[in-house]
């Protein structure tokens, strides 16, 4: 099929490359000329395992093309995905300026039937506005359909998520749109949920909000574990084996971050409010997530007493492993709070340091985890990169000023570290 993706950010790029890999002819468009000129040369602006190879392979086979011209993209494709950003406005609302703009440009450039599918995460009823915008600007007698086809890609494993999805959600209003999307996704052999457009839009917001709720729930329980000396990892295991609950997304830690959960939660709370519903549950989920960062600071203070002039070695900047993404990363808030109290920060991350440098002007960026440990009063784990799980602890102990580890992601075995002579403090894992 001939497909265009408007917006070559994280979602657009992965989606475009994967559709091309499935044998479709794909045009990825973006108004960022520098980005497009890099992409034409195979230079990928983000770190996502496997993406560079996928793009290179499909560029070579001429199944993937990049352009700055929406006109060209619309002219040559029957299906047009909108994958532009929907950032948060200051008040939590999603900024849909990009969506409106693209919808208008698609309409102006359409001269025969097109299926326009929303990929970006958008508040419920955006599809209605897209339809309205296209109707207003399209030439008379040109037919089109609008669909909602939300993505559920996780950074770090986005290609695998695309190729092996738990489900594909298709929100449509016509048989034609339904048939086109069904045949596009047929090669993936995945369960397909067909709904109306509003339900599809809501599935996306509700799924992300539910996952964030699961994380905040287990983080809240971890606070109780700390108070009584129970082990959150055991509690989570015992809960997760209940099939109705499920074991994923029950890892307690420093809180969730990233480009999706915080933004989507805000947008869901705001659209609910606009529709006349006060979604208090989600407000609490958000609050707990903020408190979790403060909880890590509290643990540091309990262990070090005064933070001023102490050196903290921080391992991990990205909001989760296998990505260089630091958007809404808990690391940034934690480091800034520590610096505000007068701490010296030494930090290491396998991928995210380049992106973080301009935001953390006072931190010392280290070449490896051991340099971050050298002469530090404490080692703080913020992101659970595999590299940190296999440290040489004898070396770490020699390098640290005090053998204190605050494990913000519960990646270490507390008993093993205690045996090696460390003071180990995890999340919801204190011994009483
Ligand atoms: C998420 C959704 O999973 C995906 O479906 C959607 O399309 C985009 O948003 P992503 O932001 O890439 O994907 O990351 P995800 O793996 O879901 O993790 C989100 C955050 O939750 C991370 O900060 C992670 O560290 C945190 N998390 C996750 C926990 O703290 N505990 C867990 O048990 C799981």
Listing DSSP states for 192-235 in one string gives EEEE-HHHHHHHHHHHHHHHHHHHHHHHHHHHHHHHHT--HHHH
Q: Would the CB of 384 count as within 6 Å of ligand 1?
A: no
User: Which of 277, 215, 220 lies closest to 250 in space, CA to CA?
Assistant: 215
- Identify the helix (H) or strand (E) that includes residue 28: strand 25-29
Minimum CA distance residue for ligand 1 atom 6:
152
- Are 398 and 375 contacting, i.e. CB atoms less than 8 angstroms apart? no
337 pLDDT band, cuts 50/70/90, is very high
Average pLDDT of 211-231? 97
In angstroms, the Cα distances linking 265 to 82, 222, 303 are: 21, 22, 33
CA 75 / ligand 1 centre spacing (Å)? 36
47 pLDDT band, cuts 50/70/90, is confident
Q: Would the CB of 385 count as within 6 Å of ligand 1?
A: no
- Are 427 and 410 contacting, i.e. CB atoms less than 8 angstroms apart? yes
- Are 411 and 389 contacting, i.e. CB atoms less than 8 angstroms apart? yes
Atom of ligand 1 nearest to the CA of 409: 30
Minimum CA distance residue for ligand 1 atom 21:
256
> What is the crossing angle of helices 126-137 and 97-109, to 10°?
40
Burial class (CB in 10 A: 0-12, 13-18, 19+), 153: buried
The token pair that represents 263 in the structure block: 């933004």
With 90 as the cut, is the pLDDT of residue 147 above it?
Answer: yes
How would you write 132-197 as a 3-class SS string? Answer: HHHHHHCCCCCCEEEEECCCCCCCCCHHHHHHCCCCEEEECCCHHHHHHHHHHHHHHCCCEEEECH
SS3 of 284, please? helix
CA 189 / ligand 1 centre spacing (Å)? 25
| Domain covering 230-425, topology | Rossmann fold (3.40.50)
As a whole number of angstroms, the distance between CA 205 and CA 127 comes to 14
402 pLDDT band, cuts 50/70/90, is very high
The token pair that represents 136 in the structure block: 């207003």
Atom of ligand 1 nearest to the CA of 261: 9
Pairing state between β 364-365 and 378-381? unpaired
As a whole number of angstroms, the distance between CA 248 and CA 363 comes to 34
Q: Would the CB of 201 count as within 6 Å of ligand 1?
A: no
pLDDT recorded at residue 140: 87
Alpha helix locations (H) across 241-277?
261-274
CA 59 / ligand 1 centre spacing (Å)? 30
pLDDT recorded at residue 90: 86
User: Which of 403, 386, 233 lies closest to 321 in space, CA to CA?
Assistant: 386
CATH 2.30.30.230 is the classification of domain 2-195: no
- Active-site annotation holder among 260, 295, 366, 373: 260
The number of C-alpha atoms within 13 Å of 31 and in the hemisphere containing its C-beta is 9
- The residue ranges of every structural domain in the chain are 2-195, 230-425
pLDDT in tens, 69-106: 999 999 999 999 999 999 989 899 999 999 999 999 99
Mutate to test the pocket of ligand 1, among 240, 261, 262, 327 (most ligand atoms within 8 A of CB): 261
Cβ contacts of 298-304, under 8 Å, gap ≥ 24: 299/406, 299/425, 300/338, 300/378, 300/380, 300/406, 302/425, 303/378, 303/404, 303/406, 303/423, 303/425, 304/377, 304/378, 304/404
CA 98 / ligand 1 centre spacing (Å)? 25
Task: Report the largest interatomic distance among the alpha carbons of the chain, rounded to a whole angstrom.
Answer: 77
- Are 300 and 406 contacting, i.e. CB atoms less than 8 angstroms apart? yes
With 70 as the cut, is the pLDDT of residue 21 above it?
Answer: yes
Minimum CA distance residue for ligand 1 atom 34:
249
Mean of the per-residue pLDDT values for the chain?
96
pTM of the model: 0.95
As a whole number of angstroms, the distance between CA 342 and CA 390 comes to 30
DSSP string, 67-130: ES-HHHHHHH-SEEEE----PBPTTS-B--HHHHHHHHHHHHH--S-EEEEE-S---TTHHHHH
Q: Would the CB of 251 count as within 6 Å of ligand 1?
A: yes
- Residue 260: active-site member: yes
pLDDT in tens, 245-262: 999 999 999 999 999 999
Q: Would the CB of 257 count as within 6 Å of ligand 1?
A: yes
Q: Would the CB of 152 count as within 6 Å of ligand 1?
A: yes
Shared fold status for 2-195 and 230-425: yes
SS3 of 34, please? helix
DSSP string, 313-325: EEE--SSSTT---
Minimum CA distance residue for ligand 1 atom 26:
256
As a whole-number percent, the residues of the chain with pLDDT over 90 amount to 95
CA 256 / ligand 1 centre spacing (Å)? 7
Residue written as tokens 């599918």?
Answer: 117
- Are 283 and 358 contacting, i.e. CB atoms less than 8 angstroms apart? no
pLDDT recorded at residue 432: 65
Lowest mean pLDDT among 20-34, 41-55, 167-181, 361-375: 41-55
Minimum CA distance residue for ligand 1 atom 9:
260
């Amino acid at each position: 099929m001939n497909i265009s993706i408007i917006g070559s950010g994280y979602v657009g790029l992965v989606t475009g490359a994967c559709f091309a890999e499935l044998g479709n002819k794909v045009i990825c468009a973006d108004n960022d000329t520098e980005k497009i000129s890099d992409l034409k040369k195979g230079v990928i602006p983000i770190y996502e395992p496997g993406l560079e190879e996928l793009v290179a392979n499909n560029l070579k086979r001429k199944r993937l093309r990049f352009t700055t011209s929406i006109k060209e993209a619309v002219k040559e494709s029957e299906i047009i995905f909108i994958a532009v950003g929907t950032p948060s406005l200051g008040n939590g609302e999603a900024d849909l300026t990009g969506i409106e703009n693209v919808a208008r440009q698609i309409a102006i450039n359409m001269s025969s039937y097109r299926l326009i599918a929303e990929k970006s995460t958008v508040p419920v009823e955006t599809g209605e506005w897209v339809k309205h915008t296209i109707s207003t600007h399209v030439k008379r007698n040109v037919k089109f359909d609008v669909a909602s086809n939300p993505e559920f890609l996780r950074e770090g494993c986005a290609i695998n998520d695309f190729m092996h999805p738990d489900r594909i959600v298709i929100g449509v209003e016509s048989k034609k749109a339904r048939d086109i999307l069904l045949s596009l996704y047929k090669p993936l052999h995945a369960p397909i949920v067909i709904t109306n457009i509003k339900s599809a839009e809501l599935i996306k917001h509700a799924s992300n909000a539910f996952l964030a709720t699961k994380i905040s729930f287990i983080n809240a329980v971890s606070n109780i574990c700390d108070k009584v000396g129970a082990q959150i990892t055991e509690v989570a295991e015992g809960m997760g084996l209940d099939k109705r609950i499920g074991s994923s997304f029950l890892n307690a830690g420093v809180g969730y971050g990233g480009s999706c959960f915080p933004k989507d939660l805000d947008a869901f709370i705001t659209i609910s409010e606009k529709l006349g519903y006060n979604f208090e549950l989600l407000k609490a989920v958000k609050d707990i997530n903020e408190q979790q960062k403060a909880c890590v600071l509290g643990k540091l203070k309990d262990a070090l007493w005064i933070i001023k002039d102490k050196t903290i070695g921080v391992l991990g900047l990205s909001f989760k492993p296998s990505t260089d993404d630091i958007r809404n990363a808990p690391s940034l808030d934690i480091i800034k709070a520590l610096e505000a109290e007068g701490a010296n920060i030494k930090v290491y991350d396998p991928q995210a340091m380049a992106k973080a440098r301009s935001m953390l002007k006072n931190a010392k960026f280290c070449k490896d985890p051991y340099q971050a440990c050298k002469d530090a009063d404490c080692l703080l784990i913020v992101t659970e990169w595999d590299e940190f799980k296999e440290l040489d602890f004898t070396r770490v102990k020699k390098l640290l000023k005090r053998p204190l580890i605050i494990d913000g992601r519960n990646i270490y075995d507390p008993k093993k570290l205690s045996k090696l002579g460390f003071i180990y403090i995890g999340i919801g894992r204190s011994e009483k």
